[in-house]
Amino acid sequence: MTDPILSIEDLHVRFDTYAGTVHAVNGMTFEMQPGEMFGLVGESGCGKSVTGLAALRAVPSPGRIENGRIIFSGEDVMQKSEEEMQAIRGGRIAMIFQDPTASLNPVFTAGNQITRQIQQHSNASKKAAKERALEMFDEVGLPNPEGIYRAYPHELSGGMQQRVMIAMALASGAELLIADEPTTALDVTIQAQILALLSELRQNEGLSILLITHDLGVVAETCDRVAVAYAGRIVETGTVDDVLYQTKHPYTQGLMSALPDMVEHGHPLQVIKGNVPDGLRPVTGCPFHPRCYAVMDICREQQPLPIQMESQKHSVACHLYEEAK
Ligand code: SF4
């Protein structure tokens, strides 16, 4: 196995608020291989977006990375200077978000924004940057690249804006794209087109993609491997086949049984009872225990550690499987 392109080890992120310290990420650990499409999945508030921002050392104030290691392409992100991080952000690592309008500047044309980005991360002339921008617009399937180049963000549909964001990531030579709910704000047909584009870029360009999503259906269609996050840590990880079709963790089982597809296949729709834990009041033991159908005494006291399943790539943090071993 090659060295991971991104490795997150025991990451803890806190937000110091007037109400107290919010424990947003609590020991998140996973790694992704180069050229992989890796899904980080969970309900909102599970720490997945904050983890994506932490990979870029871009957690907004009052957030702070309390501890943990973030290794990108063999380099320790936590040891980089702010100047080095600025070169990495939008350069070797790019991030796209659910709402591309918030990422694009409304007063500059798409062409102006992409050429500036290219010039920031290379010494290309304005002419060469424009040529590269048009090439990238074409590569991400934007019709009439010259027209898009001259257009302001409000003149483009949501799907086109997201393609512009992806073109910007490619144009600056990103090796890793962190895509945070990139299709959630788009209608279903456009969603499928953007996901197909990401899969193509992964295959043709060798781009590594960390896909952050709440949608297991999206993961099933596009990812190689997946990590399921709950209360700021990973509870189950493995190949998509292992995690979605040999599901072990009670939380992942709950997410799966709430999928509309499962209902179509004759399974009753089940909702996970209770609410996601409040980051201000961390739960002792397994953070899922107040909602778990299989809770045992040990679950209220001890936090479970990841256990390797029969398939070496599949691991689950749940006391049920310690008992079985
Ligand atoms: Fe449920 Fe216990 Fe497993 Fe947590 S450790 S998921 S409470 S069985």
Distance CA 22, CA 278 (A): 8
Number of neighbouring beta carbons within 10 Å of residue 96: 24
Identify whether 98 is part of a domain: no
Query: What per-residue confidence (pLDDT) applies to 186?
Result: 86
Could you give the C-alpha distances from 213 to 151, 197, 206, 256, in angstroms and in order?
A: 29, 17, 21, 14
Domain final position from 172, 195, 211: 172
SS3 13: strand
Same domain, 226 and 280: yes
Tokens of 129: 């940057």
State phi, psi for 300 to the nearest 5 degrees: -80, -15
Strands 6-17 and 20-32: what pairing? antiparallel
Q: What is the pLDDT of residue 194?
A: 94
Which residues of the chain, if any, have pLDDT below 70? 1, 260-270, 323-325
Q: At which of 118, 149, 172 does a domain end?
A: 172
Any ligand 1 atom below 6 A from CB of 190:
no
* Domain hosting residue 167, numbered range: 107-172
Q: What is the pLDDT of residues 275-301, one digit of tens each?
A: 888 889 989 999 999 999 999 999 999
Question: Ligand 1 centroid to 274 CA: how many Å?
Answer: 15
Whether 102 is in a domain gets the answer no
Residue 101 lies in a domain: no
Whole-model pTM: value is 0.94
Q: In this predicted structure, what is the pLDDT of residue 187?
A: 87
Q: Is residue 1 part of a domain?
A: no
Residues 6+ apart with CB under 8 A from 323: 296
In a domain, 99, yes or no: no
Within this chain, do residues 36 and 52 fall inside the same structural domain, yes or no? yes
Assigned domain for 85 exists: yes
Query: How many domains are contained in the chain?
Result: 2
pLDDT at residue number 198: 95
Q: Are residues 233 and 315 located together in one domain of the fold? A: yes
From the CA of 224, how far away is ligand 1's center (Å)? Answer: 26
The predicted structure's pLDDT at residue 265: 57
Instruction: Report whether 209 contacts 224 (CB < 8 A).
Output: no
Q: Whose CA is nearest to atom 7 of ligand 1?
A: 289
Both 10 and 140 in one domain: the answer is: no
Half-sphere exposure of residue 188, counting CA atoms within 13 Å on the CB side? Answer: 1
pLDDT in tens, 13-35: 999 999 999 999 999 999 999 99
Q: Are residues 198 and 291 in the same domain?
A: yes
Q: How far apart are CA 280 and CA 17, in angstroms?
A: 9
Strand partners, 237: 227, 315
DSSP-assigned beta bridge partners for residue 177: 94, 209
**Ligand 1 geometric centre to CA of 54 (Å):** 28
Residue with the two structure tokens 């969603």: 191
- 248 shares its domain with 134: no
Q: What is the pLDDT of residue 275?
A: 83
**Cα–Cα distance list, 50 to 2, 135, 152, 305 (Å):** 27, 32, 30, 22
Residue 314, domain CATH: 3.40.50.300
| Residues 183 and 298 grouped into a single domain | yes
Please give the C-alpha separations between residue 31 and each of 10, 40, 141, in angstroms, as whole numbers. 11, 11, 30
Atom number of ligand 1 nearest to Cα 300: 7
Which of 235, 276, 288 to mutate for ligand 1's pocket (most ligand atoms within 8 Å of CB)? 288
Query: Domain boundary residue among 172, 190, 220?
Result: 172
Indicate which atom in ligand 1 lies nearest the CA of residue 295: 7
Pocket flag, ligand 1, residue 319 (CB < 6 Å) = yes
Name the token pair of 19.
């109400």
